[in-house]
Structure 1
Amino acid sequence: ALAIELARRWNGVVINADSMQLYRELSIITARPPAEDLALAPHRLYGVLGAETAFSTGEWLRMMAVELDAVRAEGKLPILVGGTGLYFKALTEGFAEIPEIDPEIRVSCRQLSEDGGIEAVSAALAPLDPVAASTLQDQQRLTRALEVVRSTGKSLSDWQAEAQGAPLVRPEEALRVVLAPPRPWLHARIETRAGMMLSEAGIAEVQALLALGLPDSLPAMRAIGVKEVAEFLSGACDLEDARQRVTIATRQYAKRQETWFRNQMADWIRLDPAASHAPDLAAQLQVM
Structure 2
Amino acid sequence: MSERHSSKAVLIAGPTASGKSALALELALNAGGIVINADSMQVYRDLRVITARPTQDEEARIPHRLYGHVDAAVNFSAGAWVADAAKALEEARVEGRLPIFIGGTGLYFKALTAGLSVVPPIPAEIREDVRARLERNGVEALHAELARRDPRAAERLNLRDRTRIARALEVVEATGRSLLDWHHEGQPPLLPKDSFRAVFLAPDRDELYARIDARFEAMLGAGALTEVEQLSARGLNPLLPAMKAHSVPALIRHLRGELSLEEAATIGRADTRHYAKRQFTWFRHQLPEFEWVKPVEARGWLAAAAGAARDPH
| Superposition TM-score, scaled by structure 1 size | 0.86
**1:37 and 2:61 equivalent?**
no
Alignment of 1:1-288 (within 5 A): 1-103=22-124, 105-111=126-132, 127-129=151-153, 132-133=156-157, 140-141=163-164, 143-164=166-187, 166-199=188-221, 201-273=223-295, 275-276=296-297, 279-286=299-306
Aligned-residue offset at 1:192: 1.7
The amino acid that maps onto 1:282 is L
Measured after TM superposition, the shift of residue 244 of structure 1 is 0.4
Q: Please give the secondary structure, in 2, of the residue aligned with 1:14.
A: strand
The Cα offsets for residues 212-247 of structure 1, whole Å up to 9 and x where unpaired, read as 221212211111111111111111111111110001
1:236 to 1:116, Cα distance in 2 relative to 1, 3 A: farther
Change (3 A) 1:142 1:81: farther
Q: Percent identity?
A: 46
Distance 2:237 2:77 in 1: 17
- Report what 2:6 is aligned to: none
CA distance in 1, matches of 2:237, 2:45: 17
- Provide, for residues 192-215 of structure 1, a one-character-per-residue CA deviation record: whole Å limited to 9, x for no partner: 232234336110001111122212
Residue type matched to 1:163 in 2?
Answer: G
Task: Give the TM-score, by structure 2 length.
Answer: 0.80
Give unmatched runs, 5+ long, in structure 1: none
Name the CA distance, whole Å, in 1 between partners of 2:139 and 2:205. Answer: 23
Q: 1:130 to 1:269 in 2, by over 3 A?
A: farther
Q: How much has 1:79 moved relative to structure 2?
A: 0.6
- Bigger mean CA deviation after superposition, 47-56 or 120-129: 120-129
AA matched with 1:65: A
**Deviation at 1:111?**
4.7
Q: How many residues align?
A: 284
Q: Once superposed, which parts of structure 1, at least 4 consecutive aligned residues long, lie more than 6 Å away?
A: 115-124
**1:281 offset after TM fit, Å?**
4.2
Partner Cα distance (2:120, 2:134) in 1: 21
Taking the aligned partners of 2:125 and 2:273, their CA distance within structure 1 comes to: 33
Distance in 1 (CA, whole Å) between partners of 2:155 and 2:303 is 39
Ranked by relative contact order (alpha carbons within 8 Å, sequence separation 6 or more), the top structure is 2
Distance in structure 1 (CA, Å) of the matches to 2:137 and 2:57: 41
Contact 1:177 1:271 in 2 (8 A): yes
Q: Is the 8 A contact 2:157 2:164 kept in 1?
A: no
Whole-angstrom CA distance in 2 between matches of 1:280 and 1:116:
53
Q: Over aligned residue pairs, what C-alpha RMSD do you find?
A: 2.8
CA distance in 1: counterparts of 2:213 and 2:142, whole angstroms: 28
Q: Is contact 1:206–1:226 with CA below 8 Å preserved after alignment? A: yes
Contact 1:129–1:149 (CA under 8 A) maintained in structure 2: no
Q: Which runs of 5+ in 2 are unaligned?
A: 1-21, 309-313
Query: Residues 232-270 of structure 1: CA distance to partner in whole angstroms, max 9, x if unpaired?
Result: 111111111111000111111111222111111122111
Q: Deviations over 1:121-161 (max 9, x none)?
A: 77776744157526x99754454234324543433232111
Offset, 1:120: 7.9
1:107–1:190 Cα change, 3 Å: same
Q: CA deviation at 1:12?
A: 0.7
Distance 1:226 1:279, change over 3 A: same
Higher CA-based Rg: 2
Offset at 1:109?
4.2
